[in-house]
Structures are given as structure tokens and as C-alpha cells.
Structure 1
Amino acid sequence: MKEKVGADVLILGGGPAGLTAATYASRAKLKVIVVEEGLAGGQAATTYHIANYPGTPGVLSGKELMNNMIDQAKGFGTEIHDLKEVVSLDLQREVKRIITEDVEYEAPVVILATGAESRRLPAEGEADFRGNGIHYCATCDGAMYQDAEEVIVVGGGNSAVEEAVYLTKFAKHVTIIHQFDHYQASKTAQEEAFANQKLSVIWDSEVRSIVGEKHLTGVVIENVKTHEMSTVEANGVFVYIGMQPRTTIFAEQIKLNQWGYVEADDEMRTNLAGVFVAGDVRSKTVRQVATAVGDGAVAAVNAERYLASQKQR
């Protein structure tokens, strides 16, 4: 028998959006439970440093910022149930239900804050070397490449360029492989990269396959303009080619846009009554910790209003 647990608000996901929603809702004296598949903190907790979050010393580690958010939410009474894999959920009922391997949660309000995850490298052999040569988090795995001769970073946006600079702390040399002939990263990130002597870039190229047997030894790349193939030797590859929303578990119940992100109005209301959304999983153009936090606050305030209106019925 699964344990049955009730709440006023269930929040799916414990990143910046989910934790902010939890802080606001708990402070409004609602019973709030955050259900998180991994560890609370989300992507932000694995970010090497966050330099533009208001009210902080300027630069601090993502882990530090998220630990502060976790402590704050708990301080107002939020329960965080992490390492809970969601098996199924029913958001269409008046009382929503989220079922994990050992618990059946029920609440009249659910806030979806499941975030997004790294898009996998579409290259032959990626699955074979994932976690063993191919990585998606420099903060998590960069130290494995202390004194490595060569590390590759795939991508050209802010994450790729910033994490490539970070990886030069460990590896002797880092090569960025980018499909275009210019970076999409901010001017600040680009300047830092161009000034770094341990960093170089191969433009107009995409990784086609991974080279190696027991250990990764390099990648085969194709120049997208000339279609010339070449091999670049490397000890490890870090991939930053965009994100994809984590919506699989509720995709059949919630209205999504063409890219799979949850559609909602400015008040964070989805197409289902009592179901709100916040953070990177929402359809929007800017995905930052600051915007996730804003979403979380709006979702929680409107969740509280929804509950009050239900009681008046």
C-alpha cells in the first residue's frame, strides 16, 4: 500500500521556480510539498557561478544560491520530498493526484516547475560514452579532467562559452566546436573566451560520431559548409546545444506549444483549473534564474487566490 499524503499545494520540481513558489505559498500558511525527482536545486545548483542574480555579491556558486532558497522555503514550512520518481499523475480531477513509487499525493493545486534538461548530442556513440567521456555539466564533471591534454565543448551560446572558460581551470586546452561562424553568447562571455590563451574554436562544424573503445579518444566532425570530415582528439566532451522541456509525464494532459513547453497566461495559469506552471518548462523567450523566480512568485500568489475562490463556492 502506498502512503497517502495530502497538501494544499503540490509543486513538481525543486529548482528556483519551484522553491520560490513554495516560499510564497508556505508563507501564506498553505501546506506545501515539493516533489523532486532528483535533489532540490535544479539546473541552477550545478551552474559554476551565477553573476547576474539581483541582491547577491555579484558572483556566487549556483549551489550556494540554491541552498539559500532551499533553507528559506523550509524555514516557512515547506516540505521537500526529493529523490521521488513520479510514476503517474492526474491533473484533470478537481483534487489533483501525483503518484510516486511509494507515495500517493493529493492537492487541489499543482504547480508544474519541472524545468528543462540538456539536449543530447545527436552523434553516433553518444549513448555509449554518456557519463564516461561525454558530459552535460562542467561543474559536476570538470574536475575529472585535471591536467587533461584536450577537452572539447560543443555549442556557442552563453552556457557553452562560459563553461568552456571554466574548464580551462582543469584541462591544458579546450576547443569549442560550433555549428556557426560566430558565437551566440553575450559580449562579456565572448570577450572572456577570446582573451583565454588555453581556449580555441572550430567554426562551422558539427560532431558526427564519437571515437574510442573503452575510453573516448576524440570526435569526428563535419564542416557544414565544405562537408569535409576530420577527427579531433580529446579526452572528454562537454555538450551545450540547448535545452528541452521536461514534460513527458504530463504531456497528454496539459496544453504544450510546438516545442513541447507548457502554455500559460501571464498569471501562470495552464489550460487546467488549479494547475499552474513556473520556470524553464513554461513557453517563454527568456530562461534565467531571475525569470524562474518571478514565475514562481506569480504562480504561488495565483494558486493562493484560486484556493480562496474555491472555498467561497
Structure 2
Amino acid sequence: MTIHRVLILGTGPAGYTAAIYTGRANLAPVVIEGNQPGGQLTLTTEVENFPGFPEGILGPELMDNMRQQAEHFGATFVSGWVTSVDLSQRPFRVVVDESKEYLAESVIISTGASAKMLGIPGEIEMMGRGVSACATCDGFFFRGKAILVVGGGDSAMEEAIFLTKFASEVTIVHRREELRASKVMQDRARQNPKIKWLLNVTPLEVASDGSKVSRLVVKDNQSGEARTIPTEGIFVAIGHTPNTDFLVKQVEIDDRGYIVTKGQSTATSVEGVFACGDVMDAHYRQAITAAGSGCKAAMDVEKFLEECAIHVESTGVTS
């Protein structure tokens, strides 16, 4: 079997940037695209905060541009989902769709994190048309509008407070009477005059006017009655799940499922395996920071492979 210099697992801004840089370094990267090529940005309408686009750019267009740039520098793309890996020894072994096997001297993991969704009718259909899972990405589009934030943890409080910079009113919707957020975050939210509360209700359906979100249907958990809440935007803030299920017992992962990297680098607990983007970043989760970490991962890989080559040249022994 062919032993590739570098395999990149996942795409999005991190994976595509890693592919661009490793391609330019003549490492002939092979990119396993996953089941959502381009990552979460493919579900976003307009991206206004990525440098270099003063008028903004559509999320899918930005990801397509990055993919084409990576192909221009020699990256090869493989459709499919990584179902298992063996990182116990080099060359590393990666299995795609339970049947296709790839071997590599190094691996960059950029499988991202998926926003937890409510799983109710209309939610996915209205993504980018009033439903969002990222206040920092989309808050600007809701200037002067009355919107909802669904969730009861620290993330929901942070999103709600941030959104008050733009929205005329932010209502926090939570299915329990008590919040899960820390007291500090609850106090900050309750002290904000723009934030309202709708507690002990369960979201049932996201409804639209045909083109954009117009209301959220909820069930009053006390009375059992359904209520309709008019709104122009719904932000789902119930957390993220890093896509690391296939990495259990392969690399070090923290208690939230994020890959642990060493210091300022993208190196994981396994020599020759690197991680970038949302799969290792629980804090920033922005396209530009993901792209930056993809660049770092590519440079780390290039240095690792150079050091391996020097070792073989000086000792005649493969590492």
C-alpha cells in the first residue's frame, strides 16, 4: 500500500488551510472530507468577519475557494467518513467507511465539533435563515431585532449577553425553572436590562413565514399547553460535541471530548499526530482561529517529517 506523507482528517477552515500549507511544502496531502465537506461554515449564509472580504462572503463559497486553493497546491480529496484509526505505530492506519484503508507517516486531525441541536421540526431547515448556533458569527445580522437564546448553561448566558450588543431584546428560553449556568454568569445576565426570561418551557417547533424564522412554538411544562413566541432569530446554545468518538484510546482527550495538544503547538500525545480547529479548541471556535491552527499544524507536520528524514539519514533507522 502507498504510505502517504500526511493524511488530513476533516476539512473546514482548519483542514483546508492545513492542506494548502502541506501542499505548498510538496507533502502531497490526502484529505478525508467527512460527511460534511467544508464543516459548519457550509450551513452559514454570510461570513462578514473573515479578513480579506470587506463585503462579506457566503460560507459555502469561502469553503469552496479554500478547497480549490488546496487542490491547486496538490492536495487530493477523498469522500468518506473515518470510521477507525490505529495510531499505535507508524505508519498510522486510517480506515474510511469501514472498508478503505490508508497509511500515513503523519496525521492532522481537523474533524471539528458539532453544535448540539434541539432536534425539533424546522430547526435544520431554518439554519442560516434565522436559526444559528454561533452568536459571534451571526449576531451582527440581528441588529434591532427581538431574538431568543435557547439554553440554560454558561454558554447560553454568554451568547445572550453578547447578543444584547445588537438585538433590541434577548429572551432566554430554558426547559427547566432552574438554570445550569454558574451564579456569576446568571447574575450578569439578570442584571442586563435587555435580557428577558422564559423558563420551564420545552421548544417544540421552529416556524417560518416561508423564507425566514417568524416564531418558536413551545410547551409550557407546567400546564402542558402549547404557546407561540414571535421572534426574528433563534440562537441554540446548548453546547458543542467535538467529533472525536473514533479517537478513544488513540490520543489524549479531555473530559469534554476535545483533543489535548502540547503547549503552543498542535502536537497531540502521539508523536506524528497533530490536531487543529474546533476539535481541540473549546473556547474560540472561529473560522479565522481554526485556519490559523491549521497553518500551525501544517508547519508542525513539516518540521516533524524533516526531523524524521534527518534521523534516517544519520542512523539508517526509521523512527
Contact 2:108–2:274 (8 Å) recurs in 1? yes
Contact 1:25–1:32 (8 Å) recurs in 2? yes
The TM-score, its normalising length taken from structure 2, stands at 0.73
Cα distance in 2 for partners of 1:90, 1:230 equals: 52
Counterpart AA for 2:48: A
Q: Does 1:193 align with 2:174?
A: no
Q: Does 1:205 align with 2:199?
A: yes
- CA 1:211–1:138: 2 relative to 1, 3 Å: closer
Contact 1:257–1:283 (8 Å) recurs in 2? no
Superposed counterparts of 1:19-168, under 5 Å: 19-82=16-79, 84-101=80-97, 102-121=99-118, 126=119, 129=120, 132-135=121-124, 138-139=127-128, 142=129, 157-158=135-136, 161=139, 165=142
Contact 2:149–2:235 (8 Å) recurs in 1? no
Contact 1:46–1:137 (8 Å) recurs in 2? no
Contact 1:6–1:107 (8 Å) recurs in 2? yes
How far is 1:133 from its partner?
Answer: 3.0
Over the aligned positions, Cα root-mean-square deviation in angstroms equals 3.6
Per the alignment, residue 228 of structure 2 pairs with 233
Q: Does 1:176 align with 2:151?
A: no
Contact 1:136–1:240 (8 Å) recurs in 2? no
How far is 1:154 from its partner?
Answer: 8.6
Contact 1:254–1:272 (8 Å) recurs in 2? yes
Secondary structure class of the residue paired with 1:134 = coil
Say which of 289, 292, 312 aligns to 1:291.
Answer: 289
Cα distance in 2 for partners of 1:243, 1:162 equals: 21
Contact 1:11–1:35 (8 Å) recurs in 2? yes
- CA 1:110–1:85: 2 relative to 1, 3 Å: same
Cα distance in 2 for partners of 1:262, 1:100 equals: 20
Counterpart AA for 1:98: V
- CA 1:44–1:85: 2 relative to 1, 3 Å: same
- Deviation readout 1:212-246 (Å, 9 max, x if unpaired): 9xxxx932155xxxx78763237999662232111
Cα distance in 2 for partners of 1:100, 1:195 equals: 46
Aligned positions, number = 273
The TM-score, its normalising length taken from structure 1, stands at 0.74
Cα distance in 1 for partners of 2:270, 2:10 equals: 18
Secondary structure class of the residue paired with 2:300 = helix
- CA 1:65–1:209: 2 relative to 1, 3 Å: closer
- CA 1:272–1:182: 2 relative to 1, 3 Å: closer
Secondary structure class of the residue paired with 2:103 = strand
Secondary structure class of the residue paired with 1:34 = strand
- CA 1:156–1:303: 2 relative to 1, 3 Å: closer
Cα distance in 2 for partners of 1:78, 1:33 equals: 6
- CA 1:275–1:179: 2 relative to 1, 3 Å: closer
Comparing 267-276 with 228-237, greater Cα deviation is found at 228-237
Contact 1:211–1:219 (8 Å) recurs in 2? yes
Cα distance in 2 for partners of 1:119, 1:161 equals: 18
Comparing 176-185 with 11-20, greater Cα deviation is found at 176-185
Cα distance in 2 for partners of 1:154, 1:42 equals: 15
Per the alignment, residue 146 of structure 1 pairs with none
Secondary structure class of the residue paired with 1:74 = helix
Say which of 7, 12, 15 aligns to 2:12.
Answer: 15
Say which of 263, 267, 280 aligns to 1:282.
Answer: 280
How far is 1:68 from its partner?
Answer: 1.0
Secondary structure class of the residue paired with 2:57 = coil
Give 5+ residue unaligned stretches, structure 2. Answer: 171-193, 207-215, 312-319
Per the alignment, residue 303 of structure 1 pairs with 301
Cα distance in 1 for partners of 2:60, 2:205 equals: 33
Contact 2:47–2:58 (8 Å) recurs in 1? yes
Per the alignment, residue 147 of structure 1 pairs with none
How far is 1:204 from its partner?
Answer: 4.3
